[in-house]
Amino acid sequence: MMSHKKKDSAAETLKILKVMYPDAECALTHSSPWQLLCATILSAQCTDVRVNMVTPNLFAAYPTAESLACAQQEDIEKIVQSTGFFRQKTKSLISMSQDIISRFNGELPQTIEELTSLRGVGRKTANVIIGVAFGGDGVVVDTHVKRLSKRIGWTKQTDPVKIEQELMYLFPRNDWTLLGHTLIWHGRTVCMARSPKCMKCPINNLCKEGIKRMTAYESAANEKIIPLESVDRIKLDDHNCL
């Protein structure tokens, strides 16, 4: 069982991140739940910026699940090629759209069980759809959330499903969706994988890794081993960059 102290610290951390990122939201451009699902599938191992460059052409050519369900593999591949793993992503887009038409009467399902039955849709993607498209509650565990959750000290798990479960216990349901958004934004702007800006981080006193690094920085600075103002250039060991 997690202690009340850990929950209180987590609540304070999220409170600070909410203030820091008041506009935190899903960065994938979309105008419907189906479009968001397509974009999220394409975002695997690809930046949101790149996906947002690709999807306007995809949705202009195939504006509905019905049209994409009937598309030719090679035609879709040409459009999404720059997102990487484009052949598998194309198969997922077509198969997913076909299932929506044949199994769900053209409507995107709203439960995690049904969503994850679609090709190319794992728990992370399903939680994105539930939280963003349908206003539900889901904890998205992507690479940023996984990395920050371990660094801060909220979990020791490496399996995304177990991390999701621990975060669900640690935070109230109505914070689940926003938790993912704020951690993702923080991971992109401050707590990067290899060069985190711990000196500038507003939660460094609540973060297990932050406290450790700040203590080391201050000790090194006092001993004049390194100038304190240059510590942000120090990189984490590889095992802390996962």
pLDDT digits (tens, 9 = 90+) for 135-155: 999 999 999 999 999 999 999
**Where a domain ends, among 92, 111, 133?**
133
Same domain, 59 and 153: no
State residue 171's pLDDT score. 97
Is the dihedral angle over the CA atoms 162, 165, 170, 171 positive or is it negative? positive
Task: Read off the tokens for 126.
Answer: 């399903």
Q: How many residues does the chain have?
A: 242
**Contact 131/177 with Cβ under 8 angstroms?**
yes
**Contact 139/173 with Cβ under 8 angstroms?**
no
Is residue 120 one of the residues assigned to a domain?
yes
**Where a domain ends, among 133, 153, 178?**
133
Interval 99-133: pLDDT, tens: 999 999 999 999 999 999 999 999 999 999 999 99
Same domain, 74 and 129: yes
Interval 196-230: pLDDT, tens: 999 999 999 999 999 999 888 877 777 665 554 45
**Contact 27/42 with Cβ under 8 angstroms?**
no
Instruction: Phi first, then psi: give them for residue 28, nearest 5 degrees.
Output: -80, 125
Work out the percent of the chain whose per-residue pLDDT is above 70. Answer: 91
Is residue 209 one of the residues assigned to a domain?
yes
Same domain, 142 and 240: yes
What is the rounded distance in angstroms from the CA atom of residue 134 to the CA atom of residue 132? 6
Is the dihedral angle over the CA atoms 89, 95, 97, 99 positive or is it negative? negative
Is residue 28 one of the residues assigned to a domain?
no
Q: Based on the structure, what is the number of domains in the chain? A: 2
Interval 36-92: pLDDT, tens: 999 999 999 999 999 999 999 999 999 999 999 999 999 999 999 999 999 999 999
Same domain, 194 and 166: yes
Same domain, 49 and 100: yes
Find the CATH number of the domain harbouring 85: 1.10.340.30
Q: What is the pTM of this model?
A: 0.84
Is residue 79 one of the residues assigned to a domain?
yes
Alpha-carbon distance values, 113 to 97, 117, 128 (Å) = 17, 6, 14
Q: Which domain covers residue 122, as residue numbers?
A: 33-133
